[in-house]
A and B are shown apart, each in its own frame.
Chain A
Amino acid sequence: QSVLTQPPSVSGAPGQRVTISCSGSRSNIGTGYDIHWYQQLPGTAPKLLIHGNSNRPSGVPDRFSGSKSGTSASLAITGLQPEDEAHYYCQSYDSSLSGWVFGGGTKLTVL
């Protein structure tokens, strides 16, 4: 059971918009710790997608955006493309565990 809760899977057709939620608690997101998002394409290492809740590293398309509110965060992907099919993970810090924590991951399927 992950400290941060993500839906196991989401799907959408090419061109559509999808969102992936990341639900936490008062000991992590609710404390004000940032949420970061990673994309893991099949058979590859994770890659940073969003840092500091809503900041895109250079090279990440602006189709990807992040937001945070209260004890939850979300990743939105607009104009869905076949190459977006991957696993997506949220990450933060938990003060009760005194450690960095990840969500369980969400598999995005592009129909």
Chain B
Amino acid sequence: DVQLAESGGGLVQPGGSLRLSCSASGFPFSSYAFFWVRQAPGRGLEYVSGISSKGDNTYYADSVKGRFTISRDNSQQTLYLHMSSLKPDDTAVYYCVKIVAATPDPYNWFDPWGQGTLVTVSS
């Protein structure tokens, strides 16, 4: 059974940093690419970042480029999102999502999704 479990969310002040983790199980983690997708309270879904199966290709939305870093540890079956220079607009539930390919491409769909972890940026 494929499972994705995010952790690391919480309250952080503007300008601060936070690292999210996504622990995976039930499938060969190192064979698949992953994404982070976020959802601000009461709002829609927004692509944040993606990473290839080996971690050698990374992708970022313009809204987070230069501030967020995606990475993975295949030996620990864990995906990460390091967030810095956080802004109130970054407040959202962050979802870890898997795709059915080793390298992201324009035809990818997201399945499955983790349960999400809430990040709140506020003073």
Contacts and interface: CB of A to CB of B under 8 A. Distances in A.
Interface stretch (A11-19, A67-75, A77-85, A92-100): A92-100
A97 to B, nearest CB: 7
Interface residues of B, number: 21
Interface string A11-48: 00000000000000000000001101010000011111
Nearest to A55: B109
A45 B45 contact: no
A83 B62 CA distance: 36
Contacts, number: 60
Given A33-B106, A45-B95, A95-B106, A101 B47 contact: yes
A57 interface: yes
Interface of B is mostly: loop
Contacts of B110: 36, 38, 46, 48, 91
A2 B106 contact: no
A82 B110 CA distance: 25
B113 A46 contact: yes
Interface residues of A, number: 26
Given A33-B107, A45-B114, A89 B44 contact: yes
A84 B121 CA distance: 33
Contacts of A48: 109-112
B89 interface: no
Interface of B: 35, 44-47, 50, 59, 61-62, 95, 106-116
25 contacts: A2-B44, A33-B106, A34-B107, A36-B109, A38-B45, A38-B110, A44-B115, A45-B95, A45-B113, A46-B113, A47-B112, A47-B113, A48-B110, A57-B111, A91-B109, A92-B106, A93-B107, A93-B108, A97-B62, A102-B45, A102-B46, A102-B47, A103-B44, A104-B44, A105-B44
Interface of A: 2, 33-34, 36, 38, 44-48, 51-52, 57, 89, 91-93, 95, 97, 99-105
